[in-house]
A = this chain, B = another copy of it.
Amino acid sequence: MDIQEGKQKFIESWGKMASDWGINRTMAQVHALLLIAPEPLTADEVMEGLSISRGNSNMNLRALMDWGLVHKQLKAGERKEYFYAEKDMWTVVRQIIVHRKKKELEPMLKVLDEVANIEPNCPESESFCNVVKDIRMLSSKANQTLDTLIKADSNWFANIFLRMVR
């Protein structure tokens, strides 16, 4: 396999995986393109590299900056903006966790807290309360665990992995 084919495959596969996870496929492809680029790219190069429109390129670059996965770089004497991806994979994982936890886990926890006040006084409400209680416990544990992960450094992270597979 040559380098061009490899890049192609990687970008495609990264996009596929992301879309399975509810992330815009193009956003992930822009991310992949920047991840494997040796130098920062301009919005035009991203457009070109993925055959997408200027608007699409711009929007996804901004989304990636929102997620903290891509940064802007200005070159002295140039008007164009350059973009490069965060390449430390532990930081990438951390940023994704931070973002998704805030947007997805926390709202769910809030709803669970709200509905947890219901009185269990019939088979219907008893069944409901049991399930809510269990999910609430699990989610809040997950939430705490993710907080620990976010604060942890990459060595600690590697350690947990090692401990778990041993």
Contacts and interface: CB of A to CB of B under 8 A. Distances in A.
A85 to B, nearest CB: 9
B124 A148 contact: no
Interface residues of A, number: 61
A60 interface: no
A75 B39 CA distance: 65
Contact of A10 (B7, B117, B132, B161): B132
A107 interface: yes
Contacts of A76: none
Scoring A2, A38, A132 by chain B CB atoms within 10 A of each residue's CB, the highest score goes to A38
B127 A36 contact: yes
Interface of A: 1-3, 6-7, 9-10, 13-14, 16-17, 19-23, 35-39, 87, 89-90, 93, 100, 103-104, 107-108, 111-112, 114-115, 117-118, 122-128, 130-132, 134-135, 138, 141-142, 144-145, 147-149, 158, 160-161, 164-165
22 contacts: A3-B124, A3-B125, A3-B128, A9-B115, A10-B115, A10-B132, A13-B107, A13-B111, A17-B104, A20-B22, A21-B21, A36-B127, A38-B124, A39-B123, A89-B134, A89-B138, A93-B138, A141-B158, A141-B161, A145-B161, A148-B165, A160-B164
